[in-house]
Each structure stands twice: as structure tokens, then as C-alpha cells.
Amino acid sequence: MTSSKPPKLAARIERWPIAGAFTISRGAKTEAVTVLAEVSRGNHTGRGECVPYARYGQTPEATLAAILSTEKALRGGLDRQALQGALPAGAARNALDCALLDLEAKLGGRRAWDLLGRPTPRACTTAFTISLGTPEAMAAATAKASSRPLLKIKLGGDGDGDRIAAVRKEAPESELIVDANEAWTPANLEQNLAACEAVGVTLVEQPLPAGQDGLLARIRRPVAVCADESVHDRASLERLRERYDAINIKLDKTGGLTEALAMAEAAQALGFEIMVGCMVATSLAMAPAMLLAHQARFVDLDGPLLLAGDRNGGLRYDGSTVYPPDPALWG
């Protein structure tokens, strides 16, 4: 970084109303609770946004405290590389990692991908999520989104065959991926996979609970299966090779873009396909993940489309096409 002034750190919890409700197998929510980190030096401020996730034992308050706990280290010269060892993988490190990279780009007058030696992001197609509900409710939501080329369907266990059949009827031309969020069991796994195969689902995400997914290595998988809750960073990859065909890389799990980029390279070397995913959050959380899109078979960065309103200067969405961020937003 070019300025000699020590950086200043600020962070806060933000709440973003969701358009309607977002429902998965673990429950429903009507707002996205995010934590914003800002690292400033001189007239420049780098920003990063994260989503603390209760599934991983995170709270907004603890995440905020973890971010603020690095203030002294940042003033002493903590950079992105040192940050990887200073905080564990997770939401807090993600916000700081992305904020530091954003600041570095602003101070240097270069785009983040140029600093990292990565390809310039291009517009790409993102999945659009259909929340879990009754087959009738999901069919009605799908009918409104049937022109979108890629739909991600949230499932919940019992009755999922009826749900996915109802969705397919309303979106005969869309590519479908489904996400069970750990809700299937050994008793219904093969039946639900067969139901997905019958309607041409391309990918099934996290059917069994993390740590209880060994059965996936012992059955025929008629549809490709993607790890989400079972995979966090590079250390997670090796033991999943026999169980999964793809992995979902989310910056809130990896602890930022720095680890996510390294993880994508390692995963591809092991033969995994890549999904780049997100939590429900604003465009500021999506923007860094755009640097992974060119390596991904599936891009799932629709978080802002699920909100009642996005951050000012957010990403441009044209239907299901999402465009790279402007410098004022990030990077």
C-alpha cells in the first residue's frame, strides 16, 4: 500500500429486508443480517461484507467483535497474507480480506483482478433461488421465474419428489439445480435422487448432513452431487473426493477471496467441478466472488435479487445476467 498513514478500521452490523421470505430446510427469515468492515488509509476506504451464519456457530455480534479485535494488528501492518493466520476461516475474515483487497486496489489505482493476476471478470448467468414451500407454492414461484435459464430449488426432505416435479412442470426449459441443505436421510436419499434424475436435474447440493455423508461414496449417484456444508476451505477437500462431484465455494466459508481462489485451484486439480455461491446479502458481498466465476460450472450469486433493496451502486443484473462490479462498489 502506498500511503504511510496507519489504516483505520470501522465495522457495523447492517440489516437488509428480504422481499417476502427466504425459506430453506432450517427455517425462514425476512431479513439478511450482514457485517460491514471498512479499512481506511488517507482518502481511500476498502470495504468488505460478510454474513454470519448460525449453522456454523456465528452471530453478528461475535463476528463484529472479531473484526474489531484486529484493529491493533492492522495498525501494526497486518496484511491479507498475515490475516489468513490471524483469524480462522469464516465470516469475519472474509469481510476483512475483501476490505483489504479493495483498499489495496484503490490505493494502487488498479482493479483487484489485475493486482491478483486474474482474468478480467465477465458477465455471467447466475442461478435464481426458489424458496422451500409446498409443491403448489413452489410451482407458483417458479412460474414467475420460468424465463430464467438457471433455477436453484430449495428442498426439505419428505415430499421433495412432488416439489421438484411441480417445479419442472412450470419451468420446462430451465436448467435445475436443487439444494437440500442437509435435509435428506439415508432412508430417502436414493428415492430423492431418482426423482431428480427423472426430471433432468443437473446437480444436487448437500443432500445429507455434513459429517454424516459417507453413504454418498457407496451408492450410484445418478445426478452429480455438490458439497456445501461439508466443505469450507482447502483442508476439507481431500476427504470428500469419493463422496462429491462438485464443491460450493462461498467466501463466508473460506474466510475471504484469498483462500477461495486457492481453494478453486486445488479443487479443480482434484477433479471437482466448481460452484461459486453466496449467502443472502448485498452486492458488496457478491462482487469479490465474481473473480471466481470464470472457473465455475455454476454461478449462484443472486443474493441481491432476493432483497427488497440493494446497496447503492450495486451490481447490475439484467434478468439472470450479472455484470462485474464498478470500482466504486468494490475492487
- Model pLDDT for residues 119-152, shown as the tens digit of each residue: 999 999 999 999 999 999 999 999 999 999 999 9
Choosing from 106, 152, 250, 253, which is the catalytic residue? 250
Mean pLDDT value across residues 103-132 = 97
User: What confidence tens digit (pLDDT) does each residue in 192-221 have?
Assistant: 999 999 999 999 999 999 999 999 999 999
Q: Which uninterrupted H or E stretch holds 65?
A: helix 60-68
Q: Is residue 157's pLDDT more than 60? A: yes
Residues of the chain above pLDDT 90, percent? 93
3-state secondary structure 96-109: HHHHHHHHHHHHHC
- Whose cell is 469464516? That residue is 90
Residue 129: the pLDDT is 96
Give the whole-angstrom CA distance, residue 128 versus residue 250. Answer: 16
Mean pLDDT value across residues 256-282 = 97
- Cell triple for residue 167? 417445479
User: What confidence tens digit (pLDDT) does each residue in 18-44 have?
Assistant: 998 888 877 888 999 999 999 999 999
Q: Is residue 2's pLDDT more than 80? A: no
Q: In the chain, where are the structural domains located?
A: 8-116, 124-322
Amino acid letter, residue 113: W
Mean pLDDT value across residues 222-251 = 96
Give the whole-angstrom CA distance, residue 256 versus residue 152. Answer: 24
Choosing from 8, 29, 72, 154, which is the catalytic residue? 154
Residue 239 and residue 219 in contact, taking contact as beta carbons nearer than 8 Å: no
User: What confidence tens digit (pLDDT) does each residue in 53-87 have?
Assistant: 999 999 999 999 999 999 999 999 999 999 999 99
Q: Is 33 helix (H, G, I), strand (E, B) or coil?
A: strand
SS3 content of the chain, % helix, strand, coil (to 5): 35, 25, 40
User: What confidence tens digit (pLDDT) does each residue in 270-298 have?
Assistant: 999 999 999 999 999 999 999 999 999 99
Q: Is residue 1's pLDDT more than 80? A: no
Q: Is residue 3's pLDDT more than 70? A: no
Look up 154 and say whether it is catalytic.
yes
Selected residue with higher pLDDT from 2 and 301: 301
Give the whole-angstrom CA distance, residue 132 versus residue 187. Answer: 21
Q: What is the pTM of this model?
A: 0.95
Instruction: Name which of 210, 294, 221 is nearest 253 in CA terms.
Output: 210
- Average pLDDT, whole number, for the chain? 96
Q: Which CATH architecture has domain 8-116?
A: 2-Layer Sandwich (3.30)
Number of Cβ within a 10 Å radius of residue 143: 12
The dotted CATH code for 124-322 is 3.20.20.120
Give the whole-angstrom CA distance, residue 41 versus residue 28. Answer: 39
Instruction: Name which of 90, 86, 113 is nearest 102 in CA terms.
Output: 113
Q: Is residue 4's pLDDT more than 80? A: no
Whole-number Cα distances in Å, 187 to 1, 161, 184, 216, 242: 55, 14, 8, 13, 20
Q: Do domains 8-116 and 124-322 have the same CATH topology?
A: no
Q: Is residue 46's pLDDT more than 90? A: yes
Mean pLDDT value across residues 221-246 = 95
Look up 250 and say whether it is catalytic.
yes
pLDDT confidence band for 5 (50 / 70 / 90): confident
